[in-house]
């Protein structure tokens, strides 16, 4: 066998091995299923308990009857820094209308999170997802990601990326409980 034919044979066997590995992985993934199923609009929001910077615990199901603006973020996230002042400003308006903001920091130290919260004067609950368990339960990808949870605990909308002030106002109105809408 010539060297040229031998090289061609090796190349073909290598390509075949890679293709077989890819097909095997695809079959395995479809049979076992992905453990992280995406949380979508219409789904019941997975319940969680996280601790805030004061040591108080927050359980999502305790907010049933209220709209929850659930924001996943990081201190290093530039879009997060842009939207937090708007979230704080409109939290002051909407908190008396049945809308709660819960800011879930993903995996950062208490020191960093506390400094960030103080820098922006945040008065809504800032909780830490130390081991990223809640992030995984919600299948959160890029930060920031915000989930709008209605008063029945269902997800109304999932927003990835930075939100403008107008978007935040619109989204808070979207999850305002109906009993609050009629009392304005």
Report residue 108 as tokens: 């950062």
Q: What is the pLDDT of residue 24?
A: 65
- What's the number of domains the chain is made of? 2
Q: Degrees (nearest 5) of the Cα angle 158, 163, 169?
A: 90
Q: What mean pLDDT, rounded, does the chain reach?
A: 88
Question: Tens digits of per-residue pLDDT, 37-56?
Answer: 578 888 999 999 999 999 99
Report residue 110 as tokens: 């208490």
pTM of the model: 0.77
pLDDT band at residue 17 under the 50/70/90 scheme: confident
Residues 134 and 96 in one domain: yes
| C-alpha to C-alpha distance for 35 and 158, rounded to whole angstroms | 20
Residues 12 and 73 in one domain: no
Question: Tens digits of per-residue pLDDT, 58-112?
Answer: 999 999 999 999 999 999 999 999 999 999 999 999 999 999 999 999 999 999 9
Residues 143 and 71 in one domain: yes
Q: What is the pLDDT of residue 173?
A: 96
Residues 3 and 87 in one domain: no
Residues 69 and 16 in one domain: no
Share above pLDDT 90 across residues of the chain, in percent, rounded to a whole number: 72
**Mean of pLDDT values over 135-162:** 94
Nearest alpha carbon to residue 110 among 53, 62, 69, 61: 53
Q: Residue 35: is its pLDDT beyond 50? A: no
Mention every residue, 6+ apart, whose C-beta is less than 8 A from residue 138: 39, 46, 72, 145, 147
């Amino acid at each position: 066998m010539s060297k040229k034919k031998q090289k061609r044979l090796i190349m073909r066997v290598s390509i075949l091995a890679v293709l077989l590995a890819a097909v095997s992985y695809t079959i395995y993934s479809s049979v076992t299923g992905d453990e992280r199923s995406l949380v979508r609009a219409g789904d019941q929001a997975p319940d969680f308990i996280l601790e805030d910077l004061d040591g108080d615990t927050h359980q999502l199901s305790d907010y049933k009857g209220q709209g929850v603006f659930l924001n996943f973020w990081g201190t290093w996230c530039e879009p997060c820094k842009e939207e937090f002042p708007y979230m704080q400003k409109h939290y002051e308006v909407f908190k008396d209308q049945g809308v709660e903001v819960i800011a879930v920091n993903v995996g950062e130290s208490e020191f960093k999170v506390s400094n960030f919260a103080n820098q922006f004067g945040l008065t809504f609950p800032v909780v830490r997802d130390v081991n990223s368990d809640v992030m995984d339960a919600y299948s959160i990808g890029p930060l920031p990601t915000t989930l709008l949870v209605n008063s029945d605990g269902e997800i109304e909308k999932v927003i990835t990326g930075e939100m403008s002030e107008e978007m935040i106002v619109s989204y808070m109105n979207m999850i305002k409980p109906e009993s609050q809408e009629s009392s304005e």
